[in-house]
A and B are shown apart, each in its own frame.
Chain A
Amino acid sequence: MYLHEKIETLPRKELEALQLERFNKAVTAASRTPYYSKLYAENKIDISKIKTLEHIKDLPFTAKNDLRLSYPDGMVAVPQSEIVRIHASSGTTGKSTVIFHTMNDINNWADQVARAMYSAGARREDVFQNMMGYGLFTGGLGLHYGAERLGCMVIPSSTGNSLRQIQLLQDFKSTIIHITPSYALHLVEVIKEHGINPHDLSIKKAFFGAEPYSEATKEKLENLWGLDAYNMYGLSEMNGPGVAADCIYKGGMHIAEDYYIAEIIDPETGEQLPDGEEGELVLTHINREAMPIIRYRTRDRTRIVPEQCKCGKTHRRIERIKGRTDDLIIVGGVNVFPSQIESVLMNVPEVGNNYVIVLDRVDGLDRMHIQVELYSKLFQGDLKSLNKLNKEIVEKLRALIVINPRIEFMEPGSLPPSEGKAKRVIDKREI
């Protein structure tokens, strides 16, 4: 049941004492970084006054934009020689949010993911096929290290190349897969097209990650594949996968509370909400040397489940994420803000500033298509220049947001105006 029994079942009082000790260490380390030292000085914060976990609410929040402002290393708390790896959040290129790790951080993260996988029933006998992107994105390497730590045989097959994936699934009898739900929907169809019954494969369990999905999609995938799926939550700013994860009872995801302090706040007022109430999840990383982040606003909407879980872990649970408190959209595992798309369109004189982003799913794969108005005065009157313009916009968007949208030109005046609360995103995906 438990990979780290002592820490996973630590009585709340002792767990909170451990959290306070680590919190003090994390805040002290943070206060020596360029970003937090300035922030705390400006807000006249005396960290020596932190005596209880309650005091956390006296500290300012950290937002994603603060990470961008402190790019590249304004929040780093150790000398560069101690850093062994960086990761960056998906979706943006260039000045994105970069997270640094020391060797201890990488080790702790591997432990954390191994523990989460173990709680879902993964064991050293398992063959783990990791069909997630490797690289700056944390999903692939995060579970790779966790599964290795657990002692599984890891197949780092990464994304795409469906035929090879199927061959690996068959030849090495993979028992656990890590995959995005959209790719899982696609791959199962390819498997069936090749005359293979997915239920005849050796797969028992799956972790779906990198994009939001509904319980209905999860159940559909479980039935199509003939497997048992577990939710895992994470974000690169807080390491990546393994922040919280389902145990075998699937009654919410246990937060690794020896690594994080979790709060739920009212996204409008910033006030803390009691356990059980829904709001925005705020996380403080209290077990990372290279980059302590204090009170990070995840923008993810959830609630803390107040009751104790049947599995006996004392670490509290969060419910599956119910949505965002901002307008972030996740397409094929890539994070995109509509404002990023808007900034590209605004620099193309031939089109207006009004746009609508339509998301749908074809054969299990996410598609983005953007409707944009033509600017009449620059209309050239031939298809060739329209197609050229179309290609140009697609290229610019691909360079910025990594995905390949389809651009649909519209008549001027046919889209809702950019002022006010126009609906910019139409999500037709069944998630």
Chain B
Amino acid sequence: MPHQVSVFAENKPGKISRVTEVLSRNNINIRAITISDSGDYGIIKLLLDKPLEGNECLKNEGITSTLKDIVAIIIDDSPGGLHKAASLLSSSNINVEDAYGFTIREKNQAVFVFQVENVPLTEKLLKEAGFTIISDKELYYL
């Protein structure tokens, strides 16, 4: 299963640039970035080409960072593509804590990332329904 790097962020200017500076200096590429915000504080979520290394680099700089298991699937970049996956999870009573996605232009496909409590079960359900689950490596080198 792939990993996302989660970084704790106080809600104040300069937080993102501090993270991107560390990653750029260590030659780590960002595939996707999203921020969940709760007013006073939030979480910066990063898909990196080298997640383990990226997480270590951030921690070494005193940034509160951790690795988080996620589920990533490939869906068609067309209407209804995401709905199929979402309704499957909903009917299986799987609560999606957070989700985000990005498209890959060349392949006319989209990647969708779910943050759920039970990663293996969610992967199994999606696989059985015919979705392509992407592994660690595939995700970072798409």
Contacts and interface: CB of A to CB of B under 8 A. Distances in A.
A81 B42 CA distance: 58
Contact of B43 (A383, A408, A412): A383
Contacts of A408: 10, 40-41
Interface string B118-137: 00000000000000000000
A170 interface: no
Nearest to B15: A411
Interface string A383-395: 1101100000000
A413 B62 contact: yes
A331 to B, nearest CB: 19
Contacts of B62: 411-413
A232 interface: no
B97 A379 contact: no
B38 A379 contact: no
A381 B41 CA distance: 12
B59 A382 contact: no
B67 A384 contact: no
Contacts of A387: 38
Q: Helix, strand, loop or mixed for chain A's interface? A: mixed
B10 A382 contact: no
A376 interface: yes
B77 to A, nearest CB: 27
B64 A382 contact: no
A410 B63 CA distance: 11
Nearest to A369: B40
A379 B66 contact: yes
A379 B62 CA distance: 13
A409 B97 contact: no
Nearest to A383: B36
B98 A383 contact: yes
A414 to B, nearest CB: 7
A386 B41 contact: yes
Given A382-B43, A409-B40, A412-B64, A376 B59 contact: yes
Q: Helix, strand, loop or mixed for chain B's interface? A: strand
B97 A411 contact: no
Nearest to A378: B66
Q: Give the residue among B8, B59, B98, B115 with the most A Cβ atoms within 10 A.
A: B8
A413 B61 CA distance: 12
B68 interface: yes
Interface string B57-90: 0010011111110000000000000000000000
B67 A381 contact: yes
A141 interface: no
A241 to B, nearest CB: 38
A354 to B, nearest CB: 14
Contacts of A380: 66
Contacts of B36: 382-383
A376 B6 CA distance: 12
B97 A374 contact: no
A409 B64 CA distance: 11
A381 B43 contact: yes
A25 interface: no
A387 B43 CA distance: 11
A381 B6 contact: yes
Nearest to B68: A381
Contacts of B42: 383
Interface in A376-431: 376, 379-384, 386-387, 406, 408-414
A98 to B, nearest CB: 38
A376 B63 CA distance: 8
Contacts of B98: 382-383
A411 B40 contact: no
A414 B42 CA distance: 16
A376 B40 contact: no
Given A374-B64, A408-B40, A413-B62, A382 B6 contact: yes
A384 B45 CA distance: 14
A145 to B, nearest CB: 44
Contact of A382 (B40, B41, B97): B97
Interface of B: 4, 6, 8, 10, 36, 38, 40-43, 59, 62-68, 97-98, 115
9 contacts: A374-B64, A376-B64, A376-B65, A382-B98, A382-B115, A383-B43, A383-B97, A409-B10, A411-B64
> A-B pairs with the 4 shortest C-beta distances?
A381-B6, A381-B66, A381-B68, A408-B40
